[in-house]
Structure 1
Amino acid sequence: MKKALACATGLALLFGILTGCSTSQGTAQPNENSQSGAAAEAKPMVLHWSINSEPPSLDPGIAVDADSFDMIYAAFEGLTSYDLNGELTNATAESFTASPDFTKYTFKIRPDAKWSNGDPVTAHDFVYAIKRNLDPKTASEYAYQLYYIKGGEEYNTGKGSADDVGVKALDDHTVEFTLKSPTPFFRELTFFPTLFPLHQKTVESNPQWAAEAATIVGNGPFIMEEWEHKVKIAFVKNDNYWDKENVKLDRLEISMIDDNNTAFSMFENGDLDWGGYPASTLPPDVIPSLKDAGTLMVASNPGTQSVVFNTTKPPFNNKKIRQAFSYSIDRQAIIDNILQTGVPAAYGWVPSSMGLKPEGFFKEDPQKAKQLLEEGMKELGLTTFPSVTYTFDTTDMNKKLAEALQDQWKQTLGVDVKLYTAELKVYRDMRSQANFDMIRFQWGADFNDPINFLEMFRDKTGGNNHPDWEHPKFKELIDQSYSEPDLEKRKQILLEAETILMEEMPLAPMNFRGNPYVKNDKVKDFVIFPLGGAYFKYASVAE
């Protein structure tokens, strides 16, 4: 493949499609030495991809990480998805209706929707999946995404029953959702894997069904053919998929490469068709030369990178110390010298594109940071600052970021911070179990609404509430927002909630997301979802 890529195209915030220089695909012409035109056309079309690590689970109700989600979107499909224009569209559902007050949604399932084993996809598969994911025994970290459904939270927290959950099959091809309050963005939420259907017989017959290629039954555009753990995954086109005519790839070859320098070298050598997001992370040292060559692209999906503080133990159980560490971060220096992608600095948790307070809630202030540290230590009865560690997952970019933070905290606060790098699975376990002092955390939008960035902190025990932080007024405001039909009033409620979050500072936002990548110019119609992540359905690789 060519190392210099043509047609560099930036992504708009909510427009995730990449097209090549041309939408036409050349057809091999027969000659006297060739077999035939038909034989040439029969050559399999293969996309060579990479991910950073072994996906922990391909169970749509259990998965929480980006690598798993990308694989799930290849093998499964929800009621809705995105088209080549980055617009939300009907998928397994052929149509829908919503009540005028957005408290009831009814979806019609396509009669030709099938599971990869040939069984029909029915409304009962969606009902089963939703109730199963809400079952406390399932321990779905994203169960709270289903709390918009009437009775969902009560069932998940042991205060209600599955029979009271507001989802039911009106017939084999009609599923109805009754919501606890007006939710105008619910159709968009049905694109998220926690609301995907599940093949009940498969799930109930084998607790490890989602861990092996041979036992995964999906309803998406591809079927997993091979899963060599910690090495590679291979997908092939699903002939039972309702829209198979629009699936161009015959095969997806996905290598697991935890070293991003190796992944980029493979891209340069033509062994991979993509380098950087969402396949991997570009090594920071190559970004300047890619920018100079005009081949670097940046996917600007809504998301925020932060430092999360463990608020359950000293010293970060003290608000002033958390503020001190946040106010002493020189965000622009990190963006200019480490990230090098021109992304905006983050002075709030909710992305500025969602419009709560684009100018942010605070600014860096080294002098105030020193004062806050001194006051916080006095409140905790500390004369010397205790040993603390910043934990991050293994990439060169994250290592450089960690070293920059370490240096800034030393220079401004006089605090020696230890660094700990953890393999991705260990890092995720430490994060979910609050086994850290400070930890890197990046959150990308699941749906385009500020509540998606705020409701995770509603309850201390929430699946993605990594600071283990809770605040009664914050919780009251989140609950109030759920039932407020006036959009402007709702916005003010959420603004007040984020104001509390940024005052309490259980996490320190650093930058809004902007993910760099390069691609083989033969790859056409690959979609980066508007909210982030890879979609292979429409992709092709020209000869």
Structure 2
Amino acid sequence: MTKRHLSKLLAMLTTIAITASLFAGCGGKKDPASPSADKPKEEQSLVYNLGQEPDTIDPGLSTTITAATVANQNFEGLMKFNAENKLECAVAEKVDFDQANPTKYVFHLRKDAKWSDGKAVTAKDFEYSWKRVLNPATASDYANQLYYLKNGAKYNSKEAKAEDVGVKATDDYTLQVELENPTPYFLQLCGLPTLMPVRQDIVEKDPDKWTLNPQTYLGNGPFKMTVWEHDSKMEFVKNDNYWNKANVKIEKMKFTMIAINSSALSAFETGEADYIDIVPNNEIPKLVQDKKMVTTPNIGTYYICANDMKAPLDNPKVRKALALAIDRSALIEAVWKDGRKAATGWVPYGINDAKEGKAFREVGGDFYTDKADVEQAKKLLAEAGYPDGKGFPVFEYAYNKSETHAKIAQAVQDMWKKNLNINIKLNEVDWKVFVPQRKEGNFELSRNGWVGDYFDPMTFMDILVTKDGNNDAHYSNPKYDELVLNAKKEKDPEKRMQMIHDAEKILMDDMAIIPLAFYVDDVCIKPYLKGTVRVSNGMIYFDKAYIEGKTAAK
């Protein structure tokens, strides 16, 4: 998908950005940003365009940004991110951590945390939820986010029992956690949907359908769902049992599901939507000029996924030829039009290296230029047995419904024809089919994208390990797997980061995936909607949002 600092919780914790007070406690604070008391009271409701309907809204199963956006309103984990990309306490009121024993954490839960039906949130809810994600029967694609727990990976692979996993509720409000190895970004993981609590009694009563009915989609977050009209809208109201309800100003929310960029912009222009983040690319220059749109950072990479199990895409020379035949700067200029950077590697900017003040991408450098290297691409394709494209099969390039994805697909199709003399067919696929199609390997070439879940390069390395649940390319290289595994065990920050750089080099030499551009978020927000929080890992929160000035604007 779809984070950042502790002090010297390890030298590497400079990527987490948590204040020292975190370990002493994180008491709830009054939010200074709120509607002015001396102004007329306005209706506190907002409309956000979610775009595509999520394939699942189960926080333990979801892997997409849209699913995370829904989960962030209905559920809350031990930690959460704020507008500065820093961590703050959420259900956890206090975290005990000893640098001399960096694999142990003790979370003290706030006693006023409740589910939307008023029942207390307990440490047992977290223990159940984490073990549920790891349970092989659950088949969570994000189980690896809990492999950091002692025996987490072993339990997921049926080599250990649930009681062996390093998470235990010692009482209703104390959660003890033991990790396999020191993990500098563990607290960041505690802010992700995968590690949010779910209610055992609700889930086990109807495991397959509990998320489909707003009455049973019961959470502990600032809002609760009241309506879900599939492929149309979701509606939410303020959760009056939320521990921090006094600082939640929004009373009602609606999430629309407008997948077409131009239609989303029309809804924004007519006032039917207050917040959109999919816009027609050809409108971007004017929207910026009119000060209706801003571009915000995002730690994500837009890429083409080649199915590494299908010949001749199983040949690294073929994949590299396809990659080098693409002019990324031309794609950005012609389609995106928003100043994003060409992806000349896998890990994007916005993630720190072990070297002070350096970005991982800056240290890792470029694996190719932003322009097409046609000569080298033709050479590699010929070496693979397809001189001048002769004999190369006609592959299908799948993408989910979107004007932007369609334009990118068309541009890539043209570049491959012009530069390599090969043909591909384009196939626009409905989102509900598109996601499982990639997961199951029922594709040849496919649009894909990955937004980092936390602010460490491991969030990108992890998903291309053999048989990882998010490894849609079905890539496998034992040397790569070994480097990633060793990096997770390495305690020296610089040695660890070098292992990750070495792993990325293997990945790019194999061209396991074909990166095109690093993400940014193009966002249109009405001026009267204030206090929304958008984190660079794609997380969106509305618990601090409020409406001010909408009445006057009319």
TM-score, shorter chain, exceeding 0.5: yes
What is the aligned partner in structure 1 of residue 411 from structure 2? 404
For the pair 1:525 / 2:531, whether they are aligned, the reply is yes
What is the aligned partner in structure 1 of residue 391 from structure 2? 384
Q: Distance in 1 between matches of 2:82 and 2:520?
A: 22
Give the conservation status (yes or no) of the 8 Å contact 1:14–1:530: no
Query: Residues 369, 352 of structure 1: CA spacing in aligned structure 2 closer, same or farther, 3 A cutoff?
Result: same
Give the conservation status (yes or no) of the 8 Å contact 2:80–2:90: yes
For the pair 1:504 / 2:501, whether they are aligned, the reply is no
Give the conservation status (yes or no) of the 8 Å contact 2:53–2:231: yes
Question: Which amino acid in structure 2 is aligned with residue 222 of structure 1?
Answer: F
For the pair 1:356 / 2:356, whether they are aligned, the reply is no
Query: Residues 137, 506 of structure 1: CA spacing in aligned structure 2 closer, same or farther, 3 A cutoff?
Result: same
Q: What's the CA shift string for 1:338-373, capped at 9, x where partnerless?
A: 011111111110113333342222234110000101
What is the aligned partner in structure 1 of residue 337 from structure 2? 340
Shift of 1:14: 9.8
Q: What's the CA shift string for 1:115-156, capped at 9, x where partnerless?
A: 111111000000000111111110101001111111111111
After superposition, residues 166-181 of structure 1 pair within 5 angstroms as: 166-181=166-181
What is the aligned partner in structure 2 of residue 93 from structure 1? 92
Larger deviation: 264-273 or 44-53? 44-53
SS in 2 for 1:252: strand
For the pair 1:370 / 2:378, whether they are aligned, the reply is yes
Query: Residues 257, 26 of structure 1: CA spacing in aligned structure 2 closer, same or farther, 3 A cutoff?
Result: same
Question: Which amino acid in structure 2 is aligned with residue 193 of structure 1?
Answer: P
Q: Distance in 2 between matches of 1:322 and 1:420?
A: 20
**Residues matched between the structures, number:** 507
CA RMSD of aligned residues (A): 1.9
Shift of 1:530: 3.0
For the pair 1:25 / 2:61, whether they are aligned, the reply is no
Question: Which amino acid in structure 2 is aligned with residue 336 of structure 1?
Answer: E
Q: What's the CA shift string for 1:270-295, capped at 9, x where partnerless?
A: 1110132xxxx111121121123233
SS in 2 for 1:242: coil
Query: Residues 24, 66 of structure 1: CA spacing in aligned structure 2 closer, same or farther, 3 A cutoff?
Result: closer
What is the aligned partner in structure 2 of residue 221 from structure 1? 222
Shift of 1:378: 5.8
What is the aligned partner in structure 1 of residue 191 from structure 2? 191
For the pair 1:429 / 2:428, whether they are aligned, the reply is no
For the pair 1:116 / 2:122, whether they are aligned, the reply is no
For the pair 1:324 / 2:321, whether they are aligned, the reply is yes
For the pair 1:241 / 2:242, whether they are aligned, the reply is yes
For the pair 1:163 / 2:146, whether they are aligned, the reply is no
Q: What's the CA shift string for 1:8-31, capped at 9, x where partnerless?
A: xxxxx999xxxxxx95635687xx
Q: Distance in 1 between matches of 2:478 and 2:84?
A: 42
Q: Distance in 1 between matches of 2:192 and 2:408?
A: 30
Q: Distance in 2 between matches of 1:488 and 1:369?
A: 34
Q: Distance in 1 between matches of 2:425 and 2:254?
A: 39
Give the conservation status (yes or no) of the 8 Å contact 2:69–2:539: yes
SS in 1 for 2:319: helix
Q: Distance in 1 between matches of 2:366 and 2:390?
A: 33
Give the conservation status (yes or no) of the 8 Å contact 1:311–1:468: yes
SS in 2 for 1:447: coil
After superposition, residues 434-473 of structure 1 pair within 5 angstroms as: 434-459=441-466, 461-473=467-479
Moved over 6 A (4+): none
Q: Distance in 2 between matches of 1:258 and 1:469?
A: 30
Given candidates 308, 312, 332, the residue that maps to 1:311 is 308
Indicate the percent of aligned positions where both proteins have the same amino acid. 37
What is the aligned partner in structure 1 of residue 142 from structure 2? 142
Q: Distance in 1 between matches of 2:501 and 2:204?
A: 43
Query: Residues 14, 157 of structure 1: CA spacing in aligned structure 2 closer, same or farther, 3 A cutoff?
Result: closer
What is the aligned partner in structure 2 of residue 18 from structure 1? none
Q: Distance in 1 between matches of 2:145 and 2:135?
A: 13
Q: Distance in 2 between matches of 1:430 and 1:468?
A: 13
Give the conservation status (yes or no) of the 8 Å contact 2:82–2:535: no
Shift of 1:222: 0.4
Q: Which runs of 5+ in 1 are unaligned?
A: 1-12, 16-21, 30-39
Given candidates 422, 425, 433, the residue that maps to 1:415 is 422
Give the conservation status (yes or no) of the 8 Å contact 1:357–1:495: no
Q: Distance in 2 between matches of 1:158 and 1:23?
A: 49
Shift of 1:432: 0.8
Give the conservation status (yes or no) of the 8 Å contact 1:232–1:256: yes
SS in 1 for 2:446: strand
Question: Which amino acid in structure 1 is aligned with residue 373 of structure 2?
Answer: D
Question: Which amino acid in structure 2 is aligned with residue 302 of structure 1?
Answer: I
Q: Distance in 1 between matches of 2:33 and 2:134?
A: 43
Q: Distance in 1 between matches of 2:443 and 2:112?
A: 49
Q: Which runs of 5+ in 2 are unaligned?
A: 1-14, 18-31, 352-358
